Amino acid sequence: MDILMQALVQGLLVGSTYGIVALGLGLIFSVSGVVNFAHGDFLAVALFLSSSLFAAFALDPYVSVFITLPVLLAAGALLYRLLIRPVIGGHMLMVIQLTLGLSLMLQNGLLMIYGGQPLRVPSIMETKLLIVGNVVMRWPLIVAFLVSLVLAALLFVMLARTDFGRSIRAVHQNAKAAALMGIDVARVRTQVFALGVGLLAIAGALIVPGTPLSPGMGLRYTVITLLVLVLGGMSNFAGILAGGVVIGLAEAIGTIYVTGILGMILPYLVFVVILLFRPAGLLGRAA
């Protein structure tokens, strides 16, 4: 029972972070229909920026996020305006190929700059533990879980209570009608793309303590993000957060209870089984 409780707590803490990473992509998809296959690589860029800031200025990742956040916000806005928007009206494969090419460029750029050896970014929270009964929790995961809850709450308040949030919902529901009502659709899409990428700076600060960094790690996070996104119903934000928790739980249980390759593929098996019974996702509605 103690081992099961440890797995459940670990899965919940890790899964909440997956949910926040996927929420950024869900925001982007909801207003532009773009699935950014370089999403995980931008997370890797955020992680390596934290590494550089620690090496240069000894900044803890929880502090350096105030630098990486505006950098990724600007990168997201430029990416959309210069690369995504010119091809967004064409075939979907054009956007897919573009973001896949960008993924390869980012991976190889990180490899050229940082080399192939794993890196580690120390943090004040890295080695701290919280022990409740027989359950051991790492403080970086607890901080990530709490920040994820706060970010999710702020996002829901923004979407429900602010003019910008209402503009996002209007573009999500019907971009042409939103434009007729005076909403600058291109501007909203640019801002949302920047916000979706900017969230990765915060997620990177939460993930980086104790995580070995490698240039190709972005691919893993892209795959996990796509799993969570589809599982949550693509643009259902509550479903995306729930999907992150499901994948986190499956990953933790697979690591502890299932040995070998089967344990590694358990999240993918859970993903397939859920979609067999819920093709529209956990909280999605069938068209």
Same domain, 192 and 127: yes
pLDDT at residue 8, rounded to an integer: 87
Domain identity same for 83 and 159: yes
Residue 9 is assigned to a structural domain of this protein: no
DSSP letter for 55, please: H
Enter the tokens of residue 268.
């993918």
What's residue 1's pLDDT?
A: 63
- Kindly state whether residues 101 and 146 are assigned to the same domain: yes
Mark which of 216, 248, 270 sits at the end of a domain. 216
Residue 10 belongs to a domain: no
CA gyration radius for the chain? 19
A 10 A CB-CB count for 49 gives 21
In degrees rounded to 5, what are phi and psi of residue 135? -100, 125
Q: Please tell me the total number of residues recorded for the chain in this structure.
A: 287
Who's near 74: CB < 8 A, 6+ residues apart? Answer: 194
Whole domain around residue 104: which residue ranges? 24-216
Reported as a single tens digit per residue, the pLDDT across 41-66 is: 999 999 999 999 999 999 999 999 99
What does the pLDDT look like over 161-175, one tens digit per residue? 899 999 999 998 888
Same domain, 175 and 266: no
Alpha-carbon torsion (100, 199, 108, 230), positive or negative: negative
Residue 89: predicted pLDDT: 75
**Are 168 and 260 in a shared domain?**
no
Same domain, 87 and 167: yes
The per-residue pLDDT for 78 is 95
Give pTM, 2 decimals: 0.92
Give me the pLDDT at residue 123, please. 87
Q: What are phi and psi of 45, to 5 degrees?
A: -60, -45
**Which residues of the chain fall below pLDDT 70?**
1, 284-287
* Cα distance between residue 84 and residue 189, in whole Å: 10
Same domain, 185 and 72: yes
What is the pLDDT at residue 25? 92
Q: Specify the pLDDT at position 130.
A: 85
Task: Say if residue 132 is in the same domain as residue 250.
Answer: no
| Same domain flag for 200 and 240 | no
